[in-house]
Structure 1
Amino acid sequence: MRASIATVSLSGSLEEKLGAAAAAGFDGVEIFDNDLIASPLSPRGVGRFARDLGMAVELYQPFRDFEGVLESQFEANLRRAAAKLDVAAQLGAPLMLLCSNVATAVIDDDDLLAEQLRVLGDLAQERGVKIAYEALAWGRFVSTYDHAWSIVRQADHPAVGLCLDSFHMLSRRSSLELIEEIPGEKIFFAQVADAPLIQLDPLSWSRHYRLFPGQGDFDLVGWTAAIAKTGYAGPMSIEVFNDVFRQTDPRLTAIDGLRSLRYLEDITATTVGFRDGAVSPSLTRLTHSGPAEDFDYIRVAVPERHDLDGTFLALGFVHRGASGNGDDLWSQGDVRLIITTSGSDDTAPVGIVGIGFHLVDVEAASRRAGELLAHDVAPDPSPSSHVLRAPGSVRVGLSPAPVANEPDWIGRFSGATEPEPARSRAIDHVDHIALPQNWRTFDEAVLFYRSILGLVAQPSEDVADERGLVRSQVLANGAGTVRVVLNVLPTSVVESVAGGGARSPGHIALGSRDIFSTVRSLDLNGVPMLQLPTNYYDDLIGRFDLSPEYVQTLKALNIMYDRNSDGEFLQAYTETRDNVFFEIVQRLGDYLAFGASNSPVRRAAQLRSEHS
């Protein structure tokens, strides 16, 4: 399908919005009325500007509060409509969007509504423009797409058709079955937006919380497939009202928007398939590559002088050698940590700056990333054959799974030692990686890891913090061997750290076979552990059926505990050093969560530690 975006989805002037959309690769745009009114360019000038950038003006929007009114009001509405239809014609837009009336409608009569749309259709046809009628979820009398279709069908005018908007349909949980009964030629326009599933009135939900496809919880695959099956031949256009997107760089936002459309088409075609020929071949498939299978390496940047060596030795890591650019490699089992120095540059990222992922077909994964507008970064010191810039300050490496026990790139580290014997390993895998995210890049990052690395997003959580709420999103592969946790820290926390989001602490969670033994080793080797309050352990006895002796052992080692119906979870934390800290975890049974109820206590303890 042709890719389009509404100018209301981007920040900046109209000219900046059009330039960003064209640079990203969109085929067309919807011109939002307010953007046009504020522009110094005439409608004809805007149309020429868009076409010179290689884009079509697909639609002019919105025209409001037209139908369902008394005759006296209807005459005034026709005068307004004529003026806006003239603007649409000057823009070169073949369509004008008509929203169902939310303010001035006083007559709930489908016959009258159809007749008034028919008159508007005549007015539009005279100017070579068509009307795309959209049911707003909060419409006065028309609030569902099936009702809008009934009125359009009754109007029976060649210049009057439907605009189907995923938000208005899915926010009302409308059944999608009727879509397939609508002739594709009567669907004049399709607008798409994702959103989180929250309890909020539709208007507020729509105006502030829309997201790009793949960033929310709507069933956009089912929606897209249903529209494709009708034979709809128009564009798929993003219309997103979002407080964050209105403050971010329009060039980056436009790229993220086009990535989301390509991902939606691909996942729809892949999920629904062409097995019965029902899905339109207009849905473009991307290069197929399986999800990330495991972590290859984690690259951590530390200041010129750092004190992590003692922590690594206490955890059982072996120093494997140094590279030509001064990076050090430490490993244990399948955990490989590359430590690099950031130097004296206060603006350089510190903490987790690179993550390598194993994939079955790296070249296919690289092609897919390019199709999703994520291209290789060069030069880059990471050992992966392809490196992408992920949202935030992290670079993502695409690596082939090692043929033997270890990847070939380890040989680049001079003086490389042999790996430690398996029997001596306290740590044997990376349980998860937690990455801090700037509030501006959070939704972009969710889409990046979903669309490019094939990770599945779990329901997001808001975790209490002394300075606000931490918004947390887990993305994982099906096997649970790759888990990435994205955390948006409270603004006050980010601003209190030099360098902002680039220096907000992230952490690596290491899986231990015996967390008690691992933590004792850290203690014996002088690695500072995060100290937890007595109140936490007193509360454990009341929350869970644990013996006082067991709780006393947890307390002595500052180990936290959680349990659900699937199993148990044990976790402990080192103190933050060089803007990174380590979490030691042990999962018992089939526990798949992350101890969210412990997070407020842990965060409070870290804040105390930072200021002690």
Structure 2
Amino acid sequence: MPIKYGDSTIPTCYATCSIGFKDSHTLPLKLKAIADAGFDAIELSMPEVLSYGQMLHGVKPDPADYDTLVSIGREIKSLTAQHNLQILMLQPFAKFEGWPKGSKEREDAFARARGWIRIMEAVGTNMLQVGSSDADDISSSFDELAADLAELADLCAEKGFLIAYENWCWATRAPRWKDVWQIVQKANRPNLGMCLDTFQSAGGEWGDPTTKSGVVEGISRGELESRWGESLAELSVTVPADRIYLLQISDAYKMDTPIEAKTNEDGLRPRGQWSHRYRPLPYDGGYLPVKEFLTAVMDTGFNGWFSVEVFDPGGQKKSVDMGDYSKKAMDSLGKLLQS
């Protein structure tokens, strides 16, 4: 159900990885909850494909067994059609760009890309989300990162597919929206655009889970606000609306006990740890300047997809069921646009 915004309507989407917290919360139940709340589409996560494969066949498929994943993908396409849901994109494609030429890692990255493109065909989506890489040993050259994205864009273009490149705020080389925009411009491919995210930008440039204040320290609060305002103003006048393929929506909790400023045992950096577990819906206990970022995006002229992508297992447990939570998510989108 699109949301009215002035003279425009904003189509709505919900990431399947962002609802449910029990093993019993299967993909069919997730899709019903999302559809009943009035959403137009889903972001389909690869872990969801694997889980649904296990539900169908009793064993989780090998992530590199693309013949099996394609078969599962066709089943998912049929399932979403029953709920009149579009599959906006497949996500999250990670650790892709920046590997040395001739390396095993680069070979694997492009093998995965070709496999994921097959799955995209099977599920009936035309968009692949690529997160800016958080791998340690990748190139620092934006020219080289852009060259990899350009090569991937060319592969996708053969099928008429798009790439939505997203800045992950714990990424190694491109943690800011401006970094990703520079890489997109350098790659210079018509099917390569941006996935912007309220958490990734506000949580990267303004917020900080490792400080007691919850915000970036080392500069005055006034300077922080000034830099944040300048970033928003620059976004609103430099990024063409048609290069923004979607805006993902979430907030973040201020950490009562700050996250240690180091990678955890899984090798995940602090903002990555924050992202994976402490991202509620807007107006549900978070503190980031989500509305400010959304306004800057809308000031570009953007009136495309709004997609809920939250990671809040504790918050979801407070809701009666997934249906209630997905309706709460739709309400939060409406409130953001009306406030």
Q: Same fold (TM over 0.5)?
A: yes
Q: Does 1:193 align with 2:250?
A: yes
Within a 5 Å distance, the mapping from 1:116-155 to structure 2 comes to 116-155=148-187
Aligned to 1:232: 302
* Residue 282 of structure 2 is aligned to residue 202 of structure 1: no
Aligned counterpart, 1:375: none
CA contact (8 A) 1:5 1:238 kept: yes
Match of 2:15 among 6, 24, 44: 6
Shift of 1:217: 1.6
Secondary structure of the corresponding residue to residue 96 of structure 2: coil
- Secondary structure at the residue paired with 1:176? helix
Correspondence for 1:66: 96
1:233 Cα deviation from its structure 2 partner: 3.4
8 Å contact 2:95–2:134 — kept in the other structure?
A: yes
Match for residue 235 of structure 2 among 179, 201, 216: 179
Q: What residue identity is the alignment partner of 2:306?
A: M
- Cα RMSD for the two superposed structures: 1.6
Equivalent pair of 1:67/1:105 in contact (CA under 8 Å): no
CA distance in 2, matches of 1:167, 1:82: 29
Aligned residues of 1:105 and 1:141 also touching (Cα < 8 A): no
Contact 1:245-1:253 at 8 Å conserved across structures:
no
Structure 1 position 255 matched with structure 2 position 322 = no
Verify the 8 A CA contact 1:121 1:130 in the aligned structure 2.
Answer: yes
Structure 2 counterpart of 1:160, one-letter code:
L
Q: Retained in 1: the 8 A contact 2:199–2:290? A: no
Question: What secondary structure does 1:59 align onto?
Answer: strand
8 Å Cα contact 2:164/2:194 also seen in 1: yes
Residue 246 of structure 1 deviates from its aligned partner by: 5.4
Of 114, 121, 145 in structure 2, the residue corresponding to residue 82 of structure 1 is 114
Contact 1:102 1:140 (C-alpha < 8 Å) held by counterparts: yes
Query: For 1:61, what is the secondary structure of its paired residue?
Result: strand
Give the superposition deviation at 1:171: 0.7
Q: In 2, Cα distance between the equivalents of 1:223 and 1:197? A: 18
Kindly state the Cα deviation for residue 13 of structure 1 after the two structures are TM-superposed.
Answer: 0.9
The structure with the greater share of residues assigned to helix is 2
1:128 deviates by 2.0
- Indicate if the aligned counterparts of 2:97 and 2:138 stay in contact, CA closer than 8 A: no
Shift of 1:254: 0.7
| Whole-angstrom distance in 2 between the partners of 1:239 and 1:266 | 20
Q: Structure 2 vs 1, CA of residues 245 and 46 (structure 1 numbering), >3 Å: closer, same or farther? A: farther
**Identity across the alignment (%):** 28
SS at match of 1:71: coil
Q: Say which SS state the counterpart of residue 254 (structure 2) adopts.
A: coil
1:39 aligns with 52
Q: Mark the runs of 5 or more structure 1 residues left unpaired by the alignment.
A: 268-612
In the alignment, which of 18, 37, 43 is matched to residue 30 of structure 1?
43
Give 3-state SS (helix, strand or coil) of 2:134's partner.
coil
Deviations 1:23-73 (A, max 9, x none): 111111111110111114621221232122122111110001000111123
Contact 1:162 1:187 in 2 (8 A): yes
Note the C-alpha offset of 1:147.
Answer: 0.6
C-alpha contact 2:150 2:189 (8 A) present in aligned 1: yes
Identify the residue that residue 290 of structure 2 maps to in structure 1: 220
Q: Which amino acid aligns with 1:137?
A: C
Q: Does 1:49 align with 2:62?
A: no
Distance 2:144 2:110 in 1: 15
* 1:514-541 Cα distance to aligned partner (Å, 9 max, x none): xxxxxxxxxxxxxxxxxxxxxxxxxxxx
2: CA distance, partners of 1:9 / 1:20: 12
Is 1:18 the counterpart of 2:31? The answer is: yes
Deviation at 1:240, TM superposition (A): 0.5
1:10–1:245 CA contact under 8 A, matched in 2: no
8 Å CA contact 2:167, 2:180 repeated in 1: yes
Q: Output the amino acid matched with 1:243.
A: P
For 1:254, the aligned partner's letter is S
Q: Which amino acid aligns with 1:177?
A: A
Question: Match of 2:313, SS?
Answer: coil
Deviations 1:95-153 (A, max 9, x none): 11101111254211111011110000001111221111111111011111101100001
In structure 1, how many angstroms separate the alpha carbons of the residues matched to 2:159 and 2:17? 25
Contact 1:195–1:218 (CA<8 Å) still a contact in 2? yes
Task: Give the Å deviation of 1:230.
Answer: 1.4
**CA contact 1:165–1:190 (8 Å) conserved in 2:** yes
Q: Where has structure 1 moved over 6 Å in runs of 4 or more?
A: none
- Secondary structure at 1:190 match in 2: strand
Q: Contact (CA 8 Å) 1:43, 1:87: kept in 2 or not? A: yes
Q: Which has the higher strand share?
A: 1
SS at match of 1:103: coil
Q: Distance in 2 between matches of 1:259 and 1:48?
A: 28
Q: Distance in 1 between matches of 2:153 and 2:299?
A: 26
What CA distance in whole angstroms lies between the structure 2 residues aligned with 1:105 and 1:45? 38
What TM-score do the two structures reach when normalised by structure 1? 0.42
Q: TM-score, normalised by structure 2?
A: 0.75
Q: What are the residue-to-residue correspondences of 1:320-359 with 2, within 5 Å?
A: none
Give the number of equivalent residue pairs: 267
Aligned ranges 1:356-375 → 2 under 5 Å: none
Q: Aligned AA for 1:237?
A: S
| 1:88 Cα offset (Å) | 1.6
Whether the 8 Å CA contact 2:245–2:305 is kept in 1: the answer is no
Alignment of 1:147-166 (within 5 A): 147-166=179-198
Distance change (3 Å), C-alpha of 1:51 and 1:178:
farther
* Structure 2 match to 1:342: none
**SS in structure 2 at match of 1:154:** helix
CA distance in 2, matches of 1:234, 1:88: 21
Q: Aligned letter for 1:223?
A: F
Alpha-carbon distance in 1 for matches of 2:44, 2:331: 21
Q: What is the SS of the residue equivalent to 1:131? A: strand
Deviation, structure 1 residue 245? 4.7
Gaps of 5+ in 2: 1-9, 57-71, 207-227, 260-269
**CA-to-aligned-CA distance 1:398-450 (integer Å, 9 cap, x gap):** xxxxxxxxxxxxxxxxxxxxxxxxxxxxxxxxxxxxxxxxxxxxxxxxxxxxx
